[in-house]
Structure 1
Amino acid sequence: MSTIAIIDDDKALCRSLQIQLEATGHSIHIAYNMTAGLELVSSIPFDLVLLDVNLPDRSGLTALPQLLENSRDINVVIMTGNPDNKAVIESMRNGAYDYLRKPLDLDELFTMIDRVESRKKKTPPTAEEPESGQQPSPDDMIGSHPKIIELLKHIGLLSRNRVTVLIRGESGTGKELTARILHQASSPDKPFVAINCSAVVATLLESELFGYEKGAFTGAEKTKIGKLEFAGEGTVFFDEIGDMPLNLQSKLLRVLQEEEFVRVGGLETIPQKARIIAATHRNLESMVADGDFRQDLFYRLNVSPLYIPPLRERRRDIPLLINRLLVKICAKLQSQPVSVNEHAMAKMIDYDWPGNVRELENVLTRAVALSRDNKILAEDIAWQPQMATGQNPTMANDSTTLAEAEKQHIENALLRHEWNITHTAQKLAISPTTLRKKITDFNIKKAGG
């Protein structure tokens, strides 16, 4: 069993956690402010500290480096009800073991404690001292869904090093935003250089990437540095890496392997110091199988993959996104603040958003432009025809059987309600028992389950 410190000014929460955790054999000690918490941690060898962010005398985030400095073997878990996702990245970067959102999920808490106890049985490697300096605020990723919180945790951990990262997700999910957040968390004072592999002419991509020497080709009247060289110790982001021509894939592979490159028409090798982040919405594994993408390059890029979930898998975040996007859109259009009525909000939450956040922003922009009395109504929300027809492909196919259509309808409802059996059954107007039977009969599997 573990010795656990709870540092939180919410006395009711502290008492509730103490009862729950002591009932399972853990030893619990409580402090209601940061000063008392630091004294407590310095006097007792704790296995785990549950640390609140908003304490009356000091922020838990600013005290985190001091806690870790006093005890290298301690596991600190940040917990807060604050929706600011920047705190997730900052806490993980500065050495937190995990990050929990309030209200706390007890099952999640107990699972995390089990991981800590399992970790105690192993001898941990010596870690480098985390940087305690305050990081500049990165662009914010909006959302409170567990998949987004997990993504932000991974970004915080990856910001400690320079490992190559591959970001995967559907179009419009925010892959470049994710790359910029990682860059801001790791090297904010260095250049961020984005290269859209699908937008640059293939014959020019090599000179754009590596630069060229004077006289390397017709029109090369002077030496020009490429984007890899310009990035220095910053970040080079390859957007839509799946569209990179095969001949250039081999040259990028060599850069990743040798950590150096040569300008077009040059002889001198130039060290490659920038972090490489690549992104794609395509299935690279299938492209490798078809011979359209180099397998060795795929393995080099896929060292630390990040997956961004589509909007339909995190519907609870749609109202948050709508509110934030409306502020941005109204400022851009120089219009008065606009609100969304409940029917329009329900319509947008129920939609599958094949174009994800980008489509949501486009739909809201049109709605703001056409809104009356600064209020968006359900009739102001219009989908693009090609998107609307592509929302439920099985329903649009005349050859679909009734059983296939029913299965697809159930799958869509389960995704829409995040596999909550009770809510899904209510929406389908059937009992939970009937829904479970149909899930078994149709062999419907939860994604990632």
Structure 2
Amino acid sequence: MSLPSSNASNLNPNTLTQYQAFSVLVVDDEIGMQAILKKALGKYFGKVSSAGSVEEAETLRCNEHFDLIVLDINLPGRSGIEWEEAFNECDRKADVIFMTGYADLEMTISALKLGASDFILKPFNLEQMIQAVLRCMDKRLDQRMQYALKRDVSRHIKTEIIGNSDKTKQLKLLISQFAPSRASVLVEGESGTGKELVARGVHEASKRTGPFVPINCGAIAPELLESELFGHTSGAFTGAKKNREGLFRVANGGTLFLDEIGEMPLPMQAALLRVLEQRTIRPVGSEKELSVDVRVVAATNRNLQEEVEKGHFRRDLFYRLNVLKIDVTPLRERPSDLIELVPYFTRLLSS
């Protein structure tokens, strides 16, 4: 069985970046098969672990998060189909691809009833396995994108920045210069100056393939903000009837826009700082760390430097966010932009 050499190189680099946040567990009692799949899948995913039995795999699963499990049915001890914990997980469930060399119709039906994403017969072409794995992960990415679009559709705004004043030209230049970087961006400006427009501009110019996910930190109750950003498990708190993926995971491969960051409570500031430092999150009620690849753009109508001096905002978080800074000036300081803005809004309102 040979490793495919062209798959990774044929994929969009941004797509590969999104895959890097996923983790895979290979469960097979053949050491050779473990090695082959770890090498092949390691080209796509940030973490690929392996185990030789259900018992060993369950130990790993209890201590780490896996988005996908590639599972042999015929294993020493419990078979793959008897690994009930993997299918009845109260925490976020992994996708499962079964593989076996001794399949019959009854076994196939049992696997599908358990909720298997795919079923592959041995010996298989490695290309077949890679495509099955990528289909599972693409489905997850699509679900996140659809959730982000559904959440954002009611507030979607035009991303074109109108105006040719010197200050607007400088603003557009900063957006184009900052966009390719993965560093955090802090956008400061008065209310109504278009900070979200700037954040969207940074995201679109960055060519990141994940979604743009906005959240107003001042519009959500402090006790719910952690769950909104990081997600939660079923039963994590009163009213948490099912698992929920947080906005950091929804925005994976894309941009998370934290509007009104100055309104964020100090305890949440500490949690956000940890995410920016470690690039991992922990859903409320879970012990598992989940890796994320998210660019953070934060905005505020306050002077965060002054808020730091007053003790209202963490100094270390301010430095983490203030890597790249964009000041958005109010329209009264760039009146020449009205020459283009007035016709633009006239057309918009009359259409």
TM-score range, shorter chain: 0.5 to 0.7
Query: Which of 195, 207, 213 is residue 193 of structure 1 equivalent to?
Result: 213
* Secondary structure at the counterpart of residue 154 of structure 1: helix
Do structure 1's residue 261 and structure 2's residue 281 form an aligned pair?
yes
Query: Which of 156, 181, 191 is residue 201 of structure 2 equivalent to?
Result: 181
Do structure 1's residue 214 and structure 2's residue 209 form an aligned pair?
no
Q: How far apart are 1:189 and its partner, in Å? A: 3.5
Query: Which of 153, 165, 181 is residue 185 of structure 2 equivalent to?
Result: 165
Q: Distance in 2 between matches of 1:219 and 1:212?
A: 11
Q: Distance in 2 between matches of 1:263 and 1:189?
A: 24
Q: Distance in 1 between matches of 2:175 and 2:271?
A: 28
Q: Distance in 1 between matches of 2:242 and 2:235?
A: 7
Q: How far apart are 1:155 and its partner, in Å? A: 1.0
Deviation >4 Å, runs of 4+: none
Q: Distance in 2 between matches of 1:139 and 1:293?
A: 30
Q: Structure 2: state its 5+ residue gaps.
A: 1-157
Is the contact between residue 233 and residue 243 of structure 2 (CA under 8 Å) also seen in structure 1?
Answer: yes
Q: Distance in 1 between matches of 2:210 and 2:350?
A: 32
Q: Distance in 1 between matches of 2:222 and 2:257?
A: 17
Do structure 1's residue 302 and structure 2's residue 322 form an aligned pair?
yes
Q: Distance in 2 between matches of 1:160 and 1:219?
A: 40
| Structure 2 equivalent of residue 151 of structure 1 | 171
* Secondary structure at the counterpart of residue 258 of structure 2: strand
| Structure 1 equivalent of residue 63 of structure 2 | none
| Structure 1 equivalent of residue 341 of structure 2 | 321
* Secondary structure at the counterpart of residue 306 of structure 1: strand
**One-letter amino acid of the structure 2 residue matched with residue 225 of structure 1:** E
* Secondary structure at the counterpart of residue 251 of structure 1: helix
Per-residue CA distance 1:376-411 (angstroms, 9 max, x = gap): xxxxxxxxxxxxxxxxxxxxxxxxxxxxxxxxxxxx
* Secondary structure at the counterpart of residue 278 of structure 1: strand
Do structure 1's residue 230 and structure 2's residue 238 form an aligned pair?
no
Q: Distance in 2 between matches of 1:277 and 1:187?
A: 15
Query: How do 1:11-50 residues align onto structure 2 when only pairs under 5 Å count?
Result: none
* Secondary structure at the counterpart of residue 266 of structure 1: coil
**One-letter amino acid of the structure 2 residue matched with residue 241 of structure 1:** I
Q: Distance in 1 between matches of 2:179 and 2:311?
A: 33
**One-letter amino acid of the structure 1 residue matched with residue 185 of structure 2:** V
Aligned length, in residue pairs: 194
Q: Distance in 1 between matches of 2:343 and 2:203?
A: 26
Q: Distance in 2 between matches of 1:287 and 1:159?
A: 27
Q: How far apart are 1:265 and its partner, in Å? A: 0.7
Per-residue CA distance 1:167-186 (angstroms, 9 max, x = gap): 11111110000111111111
User: Which structure is higher in RCO with an 8 Å CA cutoff and minimum separation 6?
Assistant: 2
Query: Which of 303, 314, 322 is residue 283 of structure 1 equivalent to?
Result: 303
Q: Considering only CA atoms, is the larger Rg found in Structure 1 or Structure 2?
A: 1
Q: Distance in 2 between matches of 1:265 and 1:276?
A: 24
TM-score relative to the length of structure 2: 0.54
**One-letter amino acid of the structure 2 residue matched with residue 313 of structure 1:** E
Root mean square deviation of aligned Cα: 1.2
Q: How far apart are 1:306 and its partner, in Å? A: 0.6
Q: Distance in 1 between matches of 2:311 and 2:208?
A: 37
Q: Distance in 2 between matches of 1:187 and 1:280?
A: 24
Q: How far apart are 1:188 and its partner, in Å? A: 5.5
* Secondary structure at the counterpart of residue 276 of structure 1: strand
Per-residue CA distance 1:130-161 (angstroms, 9 max, x = gap): xxxxxxxx821011111111111111121212
**One-letter amino acid of the structure 2 residue matched with residue 282 of structure 1:** R
Q: Percent identity among equivalent residues? A: 46
**One-letter amino acid of the structure 2 residue matched with residue 249 of structure 1:** Q
* Secondary structure at the counterpart of residue 307 of structure 1: strand
Q: Distance in 1 between matches of 2:195 and 2:290?
A: 29
Q: Distance in 1 between matches of 2:247 and 2:201?
A: 20
Per-residue CA distance 1:194-240 (angstroms, 9 max, x = gap): 01011111111110000001121122222110000111110000001
Do structure 1's residue 312 and structure 2's residue 306 form an aligned pair?
no
| Structure 1 equivalent of residue 267 of structure 2 | 247
